[in-house]
Structure 1
Amino acid sequence: MVASAPVHKLALKTLRLVNFRSYADSKLDVPPGPVVLAGPNGTGKTNCLEAISLLSPGRGIRNAHLSEIQRKAPREAAMQGDHDENPFGNNLWTVAASLERPDGIWEVGTGLAPQNPGGNAKRVTHLNGAPAQSADFADLAPMLWLTPAQDRLFLDGASDRRRFLDRLVFGLDGAHAKRTNRYERAMRERLRLLKERRLDPLWLSGLEETMAIETMEITRARQSMIALLNDELGLREDAGNFPCAHLALEDGLDGASDAQGLRDKLSALRRRDGESGRTNMGPHLGDLQVRHTAKRADARDCSTGEQKALLISIVLANAWLQKRRKTAYAPILLLDEIVAHLDAERRAALFEEIQTLSAQAWMTGTDSSLFAPLSDDATLVSIEAGQFSVLDWS
């Protein structure tokens, strides 16, 4: 058995899901240690992790559109049952939780906002009952996750690797979420003007100024995280449980090295961007490069098992960075089907690291026996017909 961990300092205590995919209205209370969601495929284990992931900036582990999450036969808010009515007072999807932190208990929630006819789906966020922005979650509830979809992270397009890198940055630099949002808003507005041939030079210059300033900050934050991760991974190289990786950034800036250079390039690209319907330079085109240090091979050329081990190594290194350099506690870890392709030695190493980190890790799997080494500290949960049940390990 893995020894019991010390007190966890960041953990979800309660979780409530209303009209969220397969969940009509479900509530789970757990102690602060690891949580294992075990059972057959299709019961809603990944849906639960997705719900938790939406208590962080961005669109969660599935990168889903907000309207896709809504349960097909929603529970009406006025219905009375075991729980109080929907915290947001409607029949749209909602995730609500009590979050335990060193500074006390926070009540956090997010959900789908009611739409005006023909309007776009929007998300609402509350912190202790007050309206907030999803970017505010970055410092409040840092999270990291690994899912089966990320098994192809090194093989598929650059956009997923950028999102992965930015998620790593959020943990040490909560402002990164807001600066990426500002950059993307300015980029969308500039491109709309160019496509519509509304070539107001002052308007465009103002948007390009915003893009240039935010680009430099985004790039610095990404480069800083990569340098820190490379140092941390180097320290972990001798541990031998998971392979050492070396990371590098392709910044997407076409050689520009300062804000003035970026402004000049964006101005020169106006016609091309308008005609092509895309912004042809910027951090939204950057890419994360990863090499397996011992094999001296690009991650994309490694085996599936090696790629999975590299990802785990990077995520664990980032979790340690957050704990040592910023928060003194580990982020919440969401690990979907994490042990499916790990041998017994690596499973044991992963569990030991989770315990040493004192992290609340939410893990899913079809076979609860694979998680037995965690039984002294972890909560075992099953899901049936959209309802949670806490089980004994015996």
Structure 2
Amino acid sequence: MALDRITLSRFRNHAHSALDGTAQFNLLVGENGAGKTNILEAISLLAPGRGLRRAALDAMASEAGDGGFTIGASLFAPDAAEPVQIGTAVDPARQGRRRVRVNGAESSAVSLGEWLAIGWLTPAMDGIFTGSAGDRRRFLDRMALALDPGHARQASRYEAALRERNRLLSDDAPPDPAWLDGIEAQMAEHGSALARGRARLVSALGETLAIHPDEPFARPLLSIQTDSPFEEGTLCEALKGNRTQDRRAGRTLIGPHRDDLAVIMAGKSAPAASCSTGEQKAMLIAMTLAHGELAARGRPGVLLLDEVAAHIDPVRRKALFDRLRDTGAQVWMTGTELGPFEAIQGDAAIWRVSDGALERLS
């Protein structure tokens, strides 16, 4: 058990909901639109980042509330004598900014990642292999963040320096070279760290995926497509050397913000984008399970799986439950009915969700 006594107040369609007595497997069942995914989204905000929907903070607040919300939980960590109290909130009186507390003390969103590793798989991610490179970079960075909370800091600082460089390059007046030198030094420092974090993640995922058979989940082969050097000094020189082209384009044309995640289905040696939707789903599940195994090492791990079990065949469903049990992570799953979860119902904590209200079933 990782999280227990989870509370949501004024969040989406939940005026006040509480989930106590959690287990390794936790099931949320109910009609579409009942508020099941909203609970997963709330849990995802107990990690750094914008949550599984990447929604604006004001969009998450209940329409019937004052524009704020609170989410809290007790975290059972292996080395802690007592549960750690973690929470996040948006207070309209404080300009709608997100606040984080750990054991009652003000903290940062990054610090949440030092206590807990959270990963997720949602239907919106089904098109990750055929979508934009930006979608895959965010997917990659979110997985890297679950393994290394400091990855978020590198990403945000690189993005801030990138925006400033692009602003200077797009100005009518030529930018001050000395000012560009400073901006590019920041980009190189944080960009090289960002690239190394992605490379470490892909390597670790590859090693974990190689342990498991190609079936019943298709095994993906992962690599990073990049035209940027990892080394800080080399990246800095490359940015300086590309100023003329970048100014002509009005934006920075090289750097880790241009990288892409390349995925090949091992059994067919085919790019994931050209595989069937079923094969793509199987590869995505395989990556999520491998990441769950990695994330659960050393810290409590949580996996949020939205409408996954109902969309795979019985053979893969049984394999999914077996693998989830072996990861050691706490698992939260949603579905419109209990049928697909028959194999784990005896071990699961189950709630029925209806219009933002919860009923404990077992």
Q: TM-score, normalised by structure 2?
A: 0.92
Other-structure match for 2:275: 302
Sort the Cα spacing of 1:280 and 1:367 in 2 relative to 1 into closer, same or farther, 3 A. Answer: same
> Given the superposition, is the C-alpha separation of residues 133 and 204 from structure 1 closer, same or farther in structure 2, using an over 3 Å criterion?
farther
Distance 1:32 1:295 in 2: 38
Match of 1:95 among 57, 68, 71: 71
1:322 Cα deviation from its structure 2 partner: 3.3
- 2:355 aligns with 385
- Counterpart in 1 of 2:181? 205
In structure 1, give the amino acid aligned to 2:19. Answer: L
2:43 corresponds to 1:52:
yes
Q: Report how far residue 333 of structure 1 moved.
A: 0.3
CA RMSD of aligned residues (A): 2.1
Alignment deviations for residues 96-145 of structure 1 (CA, whole Å, 9 cap, x no partner): 221111124111111224377xx7x5322221222222122222110110
Q: What residue number does 2:324 align with? A: 354
Q: 1:220 aligns with which of 191, 196, 204?
A: 196
Deviations 1:299-319 (A, max 9, x none): 111111111110111111122
Amino acid at match of 1:154: F
Aligned to 1:333, the other structure's residue is in SS state strand
Distance verdict in 2 for CA 1:379–1:223, change over 3 Å: same
Task: Provide, for residues 162-209 of structure 1, a one-character-per-residue CA deviation record: whole Å limited to 9, x for no partner.
Answer: 121122222332221221122112222333344445834333322211
Q: Secondary structure at the match of 2:312?
A: coil
Secondary structure at 1:340 match in 2: helix
One-letter identity of the residue aligned with 1:212: A
Q: What is the CA deviation profile of residues 256-287 of structure 1, one whole-angstrom value per residue up to 9, with x for unaligned ones? A: 35222322232344455456453322212211
SS at structure 1 position matched to 2:347: coil
Query: 1:151 deviation in Å?
Result: 0.6
Distance of 1:257 and 1:356 partners within structure 2: 35
1:332-347 counterparts in 2 under 5 A?
A: 332-347=302-317
Deviation at 1:252, TM superposition (A): 4.6
- Point out where structure 1 has 5 or more consecutive residues left out of the alignment: 1-7, 77-90
Residue 42 of structure 1, CA deviation = 0.5
Partner of 1:12: 3
CA distance in 1, matches of 2:327, 2:201: 20
Specify the alignment match of 2:130 in structure 1.
155
Q: Normalised by the size of structure 1, how large is the TM-score?
A: 0.85
Alpha-carbon distance in 2 for matches of 1:124, 1:200: 37
User: What amino acid sits opposite 1:146 in the alignment?
Assistant: L
Distance (Å, rounded) in 1 between the aligned partners of 2:120 and 2:142: 9
Secondary structure (helix, strand or coil) at the match of 1:375 reads: helix
1:56-78 C-alpha deviation (Å, 9 max, x unpaired): 1111111112222122121x6xx
Aligned residues of 1:381 and 1:390 also touching (Cα < 8 A)? yes
Quote the residue 1:368 is aligned against: 338
Q: Which amino acid aligns with 1:170?
A: L
Kept after mapping to 1: 8 A contact 2:13/2:356: yes
Aligned letter for 2:295?
A: Q
Question: 2 CA distance for matches of 1:51 and 1:198?
Answer: 46
CA, structure 1 residues 279+114, in 2 after alignment: closer, same or farther (shift >3 Å)? farther
Aligned pair partner of 1:30 in 3, 21, 39: 21
| Aligned residue-pair number | 359
Alpha-carbon distance in 2 for matches of 1:32, 1:301:
39
Counterpart amino acid of 1:362? W
Q: Distance in 1 between matches of 2:91 and 2:202?
A: 36
Alpha-carbon distance in structure 2 between the residues aligned to 1:108 and 1:273:
44
Greater shift, 57-66 or 36-45, is seen at 57-66
Q: Structure 2 regions of 5+ residues with no counterpart?
A: none
Q: Could you tell me which amino acid in structure 2 is paired with residue 293 of structure 1?
A: A
1:234-273 alignment, distance < 5 Å: 234-237=210-213, 240-253=215-228, 256-270=229-243, 272-273=245-246
Quick one: structure 1 residues 275 and 125, their matched pair in 2 at CA, closer, same or farther if it must change by over 3 Å?
farther
**Distance in 1 between residues matched to 2:169 and 2:97, nearest whole Å:** 25
